[in-house]
């Protein structure tokens, strides 16, 4: 017996050694060979015990009647043969039969009283063994009767013996359910009958023997069939009971623990089965629902009916007697609205008539709420509560389609899109913290909601970008809304006690005038926004066709510049830097030039921003460094070459490696290379900027700060960062003679530069008067048209030779022509 499973439990498996010793299965090795194993050896383990117990129960139910019969027969034999047979034999037979009958009766009594329907495997096993043993002993006892009484008896007595033996053989039917027990009783009786006939030696015995053979075969065959039928009947009953028990457990567990429940109605639609789970969901007592009808329950749904509710179709199927599957209905209960999902199908009674519906239901209220919440989150920005980009495209698509179908002259034909980008948000986010930035976005959303008219809707597209979609208004209304938005959003914000100020730039595009689909509408509003940003921020711009032309131009130049660099269309020209004290050329600045074949030159002011925006400026920068250094090697050793480097390139961690590789490759001395940068490079003060600055200075490369005095210039840069030279912007030189304050600024810069031992170069010198004023302020060097514009590299040697004469008055005419 398996240690994990108690004896008698369904599925208990007995050890092989024990299974082979059951009398009901083997009855010893000899009988096992004669009769083979019982049929229940082939049964599944979970049913074997129950089938064996059932067979034993059916056998024992007739045991009392069989015992009385055997006792009466034993008394009758003793009575009829008392005068012709040995009294000792007759009394012995009677005693043995009475003893065996008494033992069998007592054992049956103990079995029923002690175990009844809950017999264990051990009890059933010993019950079968005892039954087999008693049956075999009883069969042996009766087998002696024909051997002892048939031969010496007369004709009538022999007839009595034959009749008694035939009746005893038929007693095998009583113990027939246990086939082995039946054989153990019947076989000795049959064998004893043949022995008794053989002892008589008379010819009539042969005839009786033949009849006995036919009778024995009939009895054995019938008993075997009856045993199989009993076994199959018990097995079927056990299987049905087991399945019913399993189904019952499953149904009980299903209704007790699952979110689903079973329901059943009669032919009138009234509930016949209502589970407690169903009653809990509907917030009604079970007794109330038992008296209610299914159609009445559905009629109690919410009005007006929700869009997803399928009650009407379900009621129609109930009326027509049709099946339905996963129908969703809304029901108003005392606890609120519940969403149910119901499936059901009709069933028929024994006469084939409609008897009602059976089905399953489930409460999907929480799932519906979760779906609604997910749908809300899918269309809402969780930080601001505004509609998100997904919702924007949906609403904008609908609005653009409606605008495209409406006459352009109609007053409601215009859809205006205001594309908003916050100015200064990154500064607030970086300085106060991301949590404060999130709170700021929430306050921006609140202000937008407060100022929007009824025909406008706000969206957050991502980051610090918002959109306002206004329908049914003309362009003037959109412009007024833009002005109001700029005014509302630039008011100070208070975040956790900290005052923050930002602005907003807005681009405006309309449908169908500018675009008919959301993607184009958003793109054109973005172009207008870019124009507003370029115009100084904190303002709005409407889309105009020129903006699209500019974008096309940028895209065209972006593609063309890549081919131009590869095809050799780009070149470097050099503008000399002249010492103001002796007129000698001290170096040249490399300037990028691009002349497109058939289209003319492209201004660096147009080219550089595009290249910086795409990152191609790094490739151009590496090419310019290599070309400038290679050409400067041919100049006199006293001359330096200055190369402008984009902040995009300089901030890269590999910039110093690029410079060092170029110097090694070209052989130019490091102190002859001057890298020109602008103050904007210090706005993103990354570790790579300082590393590159210090590494270049350590290598001997000079650093020049270009356009000093304009833009983001700060005197602190001169003390915080290693700089060898500053270049004063041409804006101070242009009005040098008419605006004395410009000269004052230059004088102040010169004082600071001399104290810091920094060289000063002045750009944009165009007149001798300007040169004289700067020379008197002891500026180091100058560059400008007074000396020469930028020239191709092949002209530089001649330019270097003749420029020292440029300071002479007799050369002013030559200078003017140049």
Residue 623 counted as domain residue: yes
> What is the rounded CA–CA span in Å between residue 314 and residue 298?
9
Query: Beta-carbon neighbour count of residue 687 at 10 Å?
Result: 8
**Taking every pair of C-alpha atoms in the chain, what is the biggest distance, in angstroms?**
182
According to the model, what pLDDT value does residue 325 have? 87
Mapping DSSP onto H, E and C, the string for 122-143 reads HHHHHHHHHHHHHHHHHHHHHH
Query: Beta-carbon neighbour count of residue 746 at 10 Å?
Result: 21
pLDDT single digits (tens) 580-631: 888 899 999 999 999 988 888 988 888 888 888 888 999 999 999 999 999 9
> What is the rounded CA–CA span in Å between residue 433 and residue 151?
122
Among the residues of 588-729, which ranges form H helices? 604-614, 617-632, 647-650, 655-666, 687-699, 716-720
- Residue 720, both tokens: 């915080």
User: Do 624 and 502 sit in the same domain of this protein?
Assistant: no
Which residues, 6+ apart, have CB-to-CB distance to 365 below 8 Å? Answer: 337, 338, 339
Which residues, 6+ apart, have CB-to-CB distance to 560 below 8 Å? Answer: 596
Residue 39 counted as domain residue: no
Domain range enclosing 760: 561-817
User: Do 494 and 358 sit in the same domain of this protein?
Assistant: no
According to the model, what pLDDT value does residue 494 have? 92
Residue 95 counted as domain residue: yes
Query: Beta-carbon neighbour count of residue 193 at 10 Å?
Result: 27
Is pLDDT above 90 for 85? no
According to the model, what pLDDT value does residue 467 have? 96
Inter-helix orientation angle 45-61/121-149, to 10°: 50
- Residue 47, both tokens: 């049913």
User: Do 341 and 485 sit in the same domain of this protein?
Assistant: no
pLDDT single digits (tens) 741-794: 788 888 888 888 888 888 999 998 988 888 888 888 888 899 999 899 999 999
Radius of gyration of the chain (CA): 56
Give the pTM.
0.50
Task: Collapse the DSSP code of 409 into the 3-class scheme (helix H, G, I; strand E, B; otherwise coil) and give the result.
Answer: coil
CB 364 within 8 A of CB 333: no
DSSP for 276-344? HHHHHHHTS-HHHHHTSBHHHHHHTS-SSPPTT--HHHHHHHHHHT--EEEEEEEEEETTEEEEEEEEE
Residue 44 counted as domain residue: no
According to the model, what pLDDT value does residue 452 have? 93
What value does the mean pLDDT take over residues 183-197? 81
117 DSSP assignment = G
Residues paired with residue 459 on neighbouring β-strands, in sequence order: 387, 467
Stronger pLDDT, 148 or 397, i.e. the higher one: 397
Query: Beta-carbon neighbour count of residue 767 at 10 Å?
Result: 16
> What is the rounded CA–CA span in Å between residue 101 and residue 73?
12
> Is residue 201 exposed (0-12), middle (13-18) or buried (19+ Cβ within 10 Å)?
exposed
- Residue 547, both tokens: 């903006």
Q: Which of 211, 243, 275 marks a domain boundary? A: 243
Which residue matches tokens 């004063």?
728
24 DSSP assignment = T
- Residue 784, both tokens: 């400008």
8 DSSP assignment = T
User: Do 85 and 153 sit in the same domain of this protein?
Assistant: yes
Is pLDDT above 50 for 667? yes
Residue 390 counted as domain residue: no
Stronger pLDDT, 431 or 468, i.e. the higher one: 468
Tell me, rounded to whole angstroms, the distance of Cα 396 from its chain centroid.
29
> What is the rounded CA–CA span in Å between residue 522 and residue 471?
15
User: Do 308 and 446 sit in the same domain of this protein?
Assistant: no
According to the model, what pLDDT value does residue 634 have? 93
User: Do 288 and 148 sit in the same domain of this protein?
Assistant: no
CB 702 within 8 A of CB 761: no
**Confidence grade of residue 142 (pLDDT, cut at 50, 70, 90):** confident
**Confidence grade of residue 640 (pLDDT, cut at 50, 70, 90):** very high
According to the model, what pLDDT value does residue 150 have? 76
Could you give the number of structural domains in the chain? 4
CB 8 within 8 A of CB 120: yes
User: Do 200 and 290 sit in the same domain of this protein?
Assistant: no
User: Do 321 and 225 sit in the same domain of this protein?
Assistant: no
- Residue 412, both tokens: 């409601």
Is pLDDT above 50 for 807? no
Residue 506 counted as domain residue: yes
Is pLDDT above 90 for 507? yes
Work out the angle at residue 476's Cα, subtended by the Cα atoms of residues 475 and 482, and round it to the nearest 5 degrees: 90
Q: Which of 195, 219, 243 marks a domain boundary? A: 243
User: Do 585 and 511 sit in the same domain of this protein?
Assistant: no
User: Do 720 and 760 sit in the same domain of this protein?
Assistant: yes
What's the mean pLDDT when you consider all of the chain? Answer: 80
According to the model, what pLDDT value does residue 445 have? 95
According to the model, what pLDDT value does residue 412 have? 45
635 DSSP assignment = S
Q: Which of 243, 278, 300 marks a domain boundary? A: 243
According to the model, what pLDDT value does residue 250 have? 58
DSSP for 37-63? --GGGGS-HHHHHHHHHHHHHHHHHTH
Name which of 206, 194, 129 is nearest 186 in CA terms: 194
pLDDT single digits (tens) 235-291: 777 777 766 666 655 555 555 555 677 888 888 888 887 777 787 777 788 777 777
Name which of 342, 326, 334, 337 is nearest 263 in CA terms: 342
Inter-helix orientation angle 617-632/655-666, to 10°: 30
User: Do 438 and 537 sit in the same domain of this protein?
Assistant: yes
What value does the mean pLDDT take over residues 299-319? 72
**Confidence grade of residue 813 (pLDDT, cut at 50, 70, 90):** very low
User: Do 486 and 615 sit in the same domain of this protein?
Assistant: no
Residue 712 counted as domain residue: yes
Tell me, rounded to whole angstroms, the distance of Cα 528 from its chain centroid.
39
Q: What is the CATH number of the domain that holds 361?
A: 3.30.450.20
Q: What is the CATH number of the domain that holds 743?
A: 3.20.20.450
Residue 21 counted as domain residue: no
């Amino acid at each position: 017996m398996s240690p994990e499973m108690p004896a008698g439990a369904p599925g208990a498996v007995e050890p092989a050694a024990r299974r082979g010793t059951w009398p009901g299965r083997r009855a010893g090795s000899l009988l096992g060979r004669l009769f083979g194993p019982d049929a229940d050896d082939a049964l599944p383990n979970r049913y074997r015990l129950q089938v064996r117990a059932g067979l034993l129960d059916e056998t024992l139910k007739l045991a009392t009647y069989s015992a009385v019969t055997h006792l009466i027969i034993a008394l009758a034999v003793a009575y009829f043969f008392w005068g012709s047979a040995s009294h000792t034999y007759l009394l012995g037979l009677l005693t043995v039969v009475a003893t065996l009958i008494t033992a069998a009766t007592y054992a049956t009594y103990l079995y029923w009283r002690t175990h009844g329907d809950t017999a264990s495997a051990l009890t059933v096993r010993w019950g079968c063994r005892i039954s087999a043993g008693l049956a075999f002993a009883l069969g042996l006892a009766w087998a002696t009767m024909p051997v002892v009484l048939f031969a010496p008896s007369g004709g009538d007595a022999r007839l009595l013996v034959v009749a008694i033996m035939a009746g005893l053989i038929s007693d095998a039917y009583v113990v027939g359910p246990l086939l082995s027990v039946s054989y153990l009783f019947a076989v000795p009786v049959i064998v004893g009958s043949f022995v008794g006939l053989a002892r008589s030696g008379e010819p009539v015995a042969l005839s009786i023997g033949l009849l006995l053979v036919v009778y024995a075969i009939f009895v054995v065959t019938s008993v075997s069939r009856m045993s199989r039928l009993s076994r199959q009947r018990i097995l079927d009953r056990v299987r049905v009971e087991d399945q019913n028990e399993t189904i019952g457990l499953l149904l009980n567990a299903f209704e007790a623990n699952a979110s689903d429940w079973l329901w059943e109605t009669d032919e009138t639609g009234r509930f016949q089965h209502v589970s407690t789970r169903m009653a809990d969901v509907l917030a009604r007592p079970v007794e109330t629902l038992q008296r209610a009808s299914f159609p009445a329950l559905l009629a109690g749904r919410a009005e007006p009916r929700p869009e997803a509710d399928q009650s009407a179709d379900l009621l129609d199927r109930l009326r027509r007697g049709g099946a339905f599957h996963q129908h969703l209905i809304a029901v108003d209960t005392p606890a609120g609205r519940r969403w149910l999902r119901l499936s059901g199908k009709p069933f028929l009674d024994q006469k084939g008539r409609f008897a009602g519906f059976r089905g399953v239901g489930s409460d999907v209220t929480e799932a519906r709420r979760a779906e609604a919440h997910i749908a809300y989150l899918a269309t809402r920005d969780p930080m601001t509560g505004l509609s998100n980009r997904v919702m924007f495209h949906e609403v904008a698509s609908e609005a653009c389609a409606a605008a495209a179908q409406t006459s352009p002259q109609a007053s409601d034909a215009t859809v205006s899109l205001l594309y908003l980008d916050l100015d200064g948000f990154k500064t607030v986010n970086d300085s106060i913290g991301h949590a404060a930035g999130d709170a700021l976005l929430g306050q921006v959303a609140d202000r937008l909601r407060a100022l929007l008219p009824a025909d406008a809707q706000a969206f957050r597209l991502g980051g610090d970008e918002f959109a306002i979609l206004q329908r049914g208004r003309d362009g003037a209304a959109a412009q007024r809304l833009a002005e109001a938005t700029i005014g509302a959003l630039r008011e100070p914000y208070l975040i956790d006690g900290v005052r923050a100020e930002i602005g907003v730039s807005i681009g405006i595009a309309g449908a169908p005038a500018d675009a008919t689909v959301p993607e184009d509408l958003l793109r054109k509003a973005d172009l207008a926004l870019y124009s507003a940003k370029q115009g100084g921020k904190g303002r709005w711009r409407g889309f105009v066709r020129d903006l699209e032309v500019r974008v096309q131009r940028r895209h065209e130049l972006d593609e063309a510049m890549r081919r131009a660099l590869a095809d050799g269309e780009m070149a470097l020209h050099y503008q000399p830097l002249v010492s103001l004290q002796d007129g000698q050329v001290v170096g040249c600045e490399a300037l990028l030039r691009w002349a497109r074949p058939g289209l003319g030159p492209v201004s660096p002011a147009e080219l550089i921003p595009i290249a910086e925006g795409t990152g191609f400026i790094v490739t151009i920068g590496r090419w310019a460094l290599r070309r400038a250094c290679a050409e400067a090697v041919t100049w006199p050793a006293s001359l330096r070459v200055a190369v402008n480097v984009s902040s995009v390139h300089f901030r890269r961690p590999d910039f110093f490696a690029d410079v060092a590789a170029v110097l090694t490759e070209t052989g130019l001395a490091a102190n002859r290379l001057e890298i020109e940068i602008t103050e904007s490079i210090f706005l993103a003060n990354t570790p790579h900027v300082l590393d590159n600055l210090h590494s270049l200075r350590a290598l001997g490369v000079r650093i020049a700060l270009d356009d000093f005095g304009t833009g983001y210039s700060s005197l602190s840069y001169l003390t915080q960062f290693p700089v060898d030279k500053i270049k004063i912007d041409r804006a101070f030189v242009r009005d040098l003679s008419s605006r004395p304050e410009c000269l004052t600024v230059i004088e102040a810069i010169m004082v600071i530069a001399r104290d810091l031992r920094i060289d000063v170069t002045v750009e944009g010198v165009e007149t001798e008067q300007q040169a004289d004023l700067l020379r008197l302020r002891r500026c180091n060097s100058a560059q400008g048209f007074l000396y020469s514009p930028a020239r191709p590299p092949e002209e530089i040697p001649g330019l270097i030779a003749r420029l020292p004469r440029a300071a002479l008055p007799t050369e002013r005419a030559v200078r003017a022509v140049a």
